[in-house]
Amino acid sequence: MSTTIDSNVASRVNQGGPGARDASQSAELRNNFMTLLITQLQNQDPLKPMDNHEMTSQLAQINTVSGIEQLNETLAGITDQMNAGQTLQATGLIGKGVLVPGNRVLLEQGEEGEVHTTPFGIELEQSAENVRVTISNASGQVINRYDIGPVQAGVESFTWDGMNSEGEAAVSGAYEVRVEATSGDKTVKATTLNYAVVGGVTPPDENGGVRLDLGAVYGQVGLGEVKQIL
């Protein structure tokens, strides 16, 4: 629920080792090993047959290579399924508003003087006895300050009423939100969140996960950066 504040208130498995070989390399290795083993058996000295321990050791090595290859294929399949699930989840956010790390709030005045502002959010690592919110314009001038009292740990959303410290509506534009959270004489770590609308989804590639397109102003963010859906 949004609260209005106003003047009153993945490394790869075994990378570089046997598991990094592709399927064709592993198949070629197995074929060469079996050819060599059969040749050894055919040409061994009957009086000094091949040692069982040595043969078992060689078989174990080739089985280890095959097992790692199969494990990598299984992990790749699981990764593909997870990526597909993330993409499907992310597409459900298209057209919805989200809170992501940032410190912008937008204000727009309507034709009849009504004021509309975008929500913003606060994420606290632990509960705070008091949270102070400062609204500044693009020049750094403080427009208003609010002491909003205690706020619980986690994410909570707020809406600025759009008024300056003199009780007048601020002009349309982008403003900066700064948050200070305290408990007694100790500072509580706080992260400011701004509102954006998801316009599209970029499927995951080999370098990362699903990314959300938030438009030209906010760019793209990872799905894990979404702190709240509004």
The CATH number of the domain where 198 resides is what?
A: 2.60.40.4070
Out of 65, 91, 117, pick the residue that ends a domain.
91
Give me the tens of pLDDT residue by residue for the chain, a chain 230 residues long.
566 666 554 333 344 444 444 556 666 666 766 676 667 666 665 656 555 566 667 666 766 766 677 766 766 655 555 555 667 777 888 999 999 999 999 999 887 778 999 999 999 999 999 999 999 999 999 999 999 999 999 999 999 999 999 999 999 999 999 999 999 999 999 999 999 999 998 877 666 678 899 998 889 998 889 999 98
Q: Do residues 86 and 109 share a domain? A: no
Out of 38, 61, 91, pick the residue that ends a domain.
91
> Which among 111, 182, 117, 110 is positioned nearest to 143, based on CA atoms?
117
Q: Do residues 109 and 201 share a domain? A: yes
> Which residue in this structure is represented by tokens 């006895």?
129
Give the structural domain span for 210.
2-6+93-229
Out of 91, 122, 150, pick the residue that ends a domain.
91
13 part of a folded domain: no
d(CA 227, CA 230): 10
d(CA 196, CA 227): 12
Q: Do residues 98 and 130 share a domain? A: yes
In one-letter notation, the amino acid at residue 211 is: R
| This prediction's pTM | 0.64
d(CA 220, CA 215): 7
Q: Do residues 122 and 200 share a domain? A: yes
Q: Do residues 116 and 198 share a domain? A: yes
154 part of a folded domain: yes
